[in-house]
Amino acid sequence: MITNPILTGFHPDPSICRAGEDYYIATSTFEWFPGVRIFHSKDLKNWRLISTPVNRVSQLNMLGNPDSGGVWAPNLSYSDGRFWLIYSDVKTQSNSWKDVNNYLITCETIDGDWSEPIYMNSSGFDPSLFHDDDGKKYFLNMVWDYRPTNHSFYGIALQEFDWQAKKLVGQPKIIFKGTERKLTEAPVMYKVNGYYYLLTAEGGTKFEHASTIARGTHIEGPYEVHPQNPLISSWGQPEILLQKAGHGSFVKTQTDEWYFVHLTGRALKYPETPLLENRGYCPLGRETAIQSVYWENDWPYITGGNFPKEEVPQPQLPEHPWETESGFDDFEEASLAPVFQTLRIPFSEEIGSLTARPGYLRLYGRESFNSLFHQALVARRWSDFRFEATTAVEFSPTSFLQLAGMTNYYNTQNWSAIYITHDETKGRIITVLASEKGQLKSQKAPEVVIPTDVQTVYFKTIVNYAHYQYAYSFDQKEWQVIDQLFDSLQLSDDYVAEHYGGFFTGAFVGMFAIDTTGNRLAADFDSFDYQKIEEEER
């Protein structure tokens, strides 16, 4: 059996494709750089990160992008001996306007050097590319309608793409306006047994989320909706683990079996703060799950009913596990491990170095957590409900404007941190700061004086389902836990969506350096360790 989710932590909007005997899933990254994460499997059960293709500023310039802007819903396909990746760069996402640029890059190998981008259009997000069996290629995206008197999701547009000319040709045509679920987005086209199948996501990306499928005999329609729409949703099943099921894509194995990968979220319950019939909050963000599919009367169905299952029969393929990756990094390599990402900009001398002091990650103090431009922050996803993350830092500030340490981060308005800074009377201290809905909070914050003979300070995050705490040590043996309990929910889409715009990512844990004096004081991190703690019966 395959256990869901197959990609844990913030990995939304999965796009799956097969190339021979290899399977690949691309997921959204939003404001985190590099853009798009591609995972590889040979059995649909075991997955590993193999490529981060949008890794140059010439492909993706997110400087100044808003929270939850950047790369939305990539679409990955394989045709004509090459991989094709469509992605968006969302520059603004207010209620009225969505300024978005859509691009295409290609590569003959999944982990190679992907091309410079071809600009496609800017009329809406969630673009995809369909390769028809007559050799023609078609570009699809939802069209955003800014007009206050109209519905914001205008419909799904189709336009031919000329690969030789490297541009869209002809005029776009609206081929589908969606169903009564509304908020129709994420179009992906398939052709099976003479039918064109148009898969979309509907209902928004919260707990009401769903996938809808329609078919027609001509690519421009008309399209009839599945007789048992939706294809999948969790909305009618508030008691199941996998919530928010929707946005996804199909794959057919070389053994003629069909599967569907889709967005999902696992909620933690907070009885004191009910949300949507107390479905809970998802601090790990929107994850990726997989379902078995069967066909009947030329319609696809999710095996066992149109809701997500925690366990799914695996295909008739040899099982192919990958070597377990260590959660420990001693920064001996000359480049960041792929598990780490930065905010909006690539890791470079602008914010840090792995060679200035070999064996250390050096971060140069830059702008604050609130900045949309230059943050010296290196982090990885929360992938588990229970884990510990530890780091070691050397930092010698001379001003309260200089701080470096460990953070648990959702976006510029919602985060917490434990760090070293300077106090005018106490000298070097350890303290804690948090931001909730953009308001700084430091109640109960300690001001621990660091002994003058201590060079390295160790920080730890202890995450235990609904809550997390910080701890510090001067010798990595005796740990002092900070008596301040943080709610994991404050790092969830669901909490942020209630209180603040921009809610599409998930919780990260990592290292940072801030220096608003402008001197870019360096902090040296000796290591970072992330270790899952076995989950309890709940």
Give the model confidence (pLDDT) of 2-21 as tens digits.
999 999 999 999 999 999 99
How confident is the model over 325-364, as pLDDT tens digits? 899 999 999 999 999 999 999 999 999 999 999 999 999 9
> Is pLDDT of 537 > 90?
no
How confident is the model over 161-208, as pLDDT tens digits? 999 999 999 999 999 999 999 999 999 999 999 999 999 999 998 999
Residue with the two structure tokens 């308005």: 413
Predicted local distance difference test score (pLDDT) of residue 410: 97
Q: What is the mean pLDDT of the chain?
A: 95
d(CA 135, CA 145) in angstroms, rounded, equals 32
- Report CA dihedral (114, 116, 120, 122) to the nearest 10 degrees: 100
d(CA 88, CA 58) in angstroms, rounded, equals 14
Q: Which CATH superfamily is domain 2-312 in?
A: Glycosyl hydrolase domain; family 43 (2.115.10.20)
d(CA 364, CA 537) in angstroms, rounded, equals 43
Burial state string for 300-329 with b = 16 or more CB within 10 A and e = fewer than 16? bbbeeebbbbeebebbebeeeeeeeeebeb
> Is pLDDT of 381 > 60?
yes
Following DSSP, what letter does each residue of 351-413 receive, concatenated? TEESTTTTTSEEEE-BS-TT-SS--EEEEEE--SSEEEEEEEEE---SSTTEEEEEEEEEETT
- Predicted confidence band of residue 84 (pLDDT cuts 50, 70, 90): very high
Of 445 and 233, which is predicted with more confidence?
233
C-beta separation of 447 from 429 below 8 A: yes
Half-sphere exposure at residue 316, Cβ-oriented, CA atoms within 13 angstroms:
5
> Is pLDDT of 538 > 80?
no
Q: Stretch 129-141: mean pLDDT, rounded?
A: 98
d(CA 313, CA 331) in angstroms, rounded, equals 39
Query: Which tokens belong to 296?
Result: 């009947």
Rounded to 5 degrees, what are φ and ψ at 31? -85, 0
For Cα atoms 320, 128, 217, give the angle at the middle one, nearest 5 degrees. 100
How confident is the model over 250-306, as pLDDT tens digits? 999 999 999 999 999 999 876 655 555 568 899 999 999 999 999 999 999 999 999
d(CA 273, CA 281) in angstroms, rounded, equals 10
Count CB atoms within 10 A of the CB of residue 97. Answer: 12
Predicted local distance difference test score (pLDDT) of residue 273: 53
Q: Stretch 210-234: mean pLDDT, rounded?
A: 98
Predicted local distance difference test score (pLDDT) of residue 93: 81
Predicted local distance difference test score (pLDDT) of residue 126: 96
One of 3.40.50.300, 2.60.120.200, 2.30.30.790, 1.20.1200.10 is the CATH number of 328-532, namely 2.60.120.200
Q: What type of residue is 100?
A: V
Predicted local distance difference test score (pLDDT) of residue 278: 66
> Is pLDDT of 87 > 80?
yes
3-state helix, strand, coil in the chain (%, to 5): 0, 45, 50
Predicted local distance difference test score (pLDDT) of residue 271: 60
- Predicted confidence band of residue 441 (pLDDT cuts 50, 70, 90): confident
> Is pLDDT of 76 > 70?
yes
Please state the three-class secondary structure of 29-78 as a single string. Answer: CECEECECEEEEECCCCCCEEEECCECCCCCCCCCCCCCCCEECCCEEEE
Distances (CA, A) of 118 to 87, 168, 404, 519: 11, 10, 39, 39
Peptide bond just before 53 cis, omega within 30 deg: no
C-beta separation of 273 from 264 below 8 A: no
Predicted local distance difference test score (pLDDT) of residue 502: 61
d(CA 314, CA 465) in angstroms, rounded, equals 29
- Predicted confidence band of residue 458 (pLDDT cuts 50, 70, 90): very high
Q: What residues contact 497, with CB distance under 8 A and at least 6 apart?
A: 206, 503
How confident is the model over 383-428, as pLDDT tens digits? 999 999 999 999 999 999 999 999 999 999 999 999 999 999 999 9
Predicted local distance difference test score (pLDDT) of residue 275: 54
- Determine which one of 13, 388, 394, 524 is catalytic: 13
- Report CA dihedral (124, 129, 132, 135) to the nearest 10 degrees: 110
Predicted local distance difference test score (pLDDT) of residue 437: 87
d(CA 183, CA 507) in angstroms, rounded, equals 26
3-state secondary structure of 317: coil
Annotated catalytic residue 272: no
Query: Which tokens belong to 243?
Result: 């919530």
Annotated catalytic residue 185: yes
- Determine which one of 31, 67, 89, 185 is catalytic: 185
* Residue 300 bridge partners (DSSP): 295
Query: Is 2-312's fold the same as 328-532's?
Result: no
3-state secondary structure of 7: strand
- Predicted confidence band of residue 501 (pLDDT cuts 50, 70, 90): low
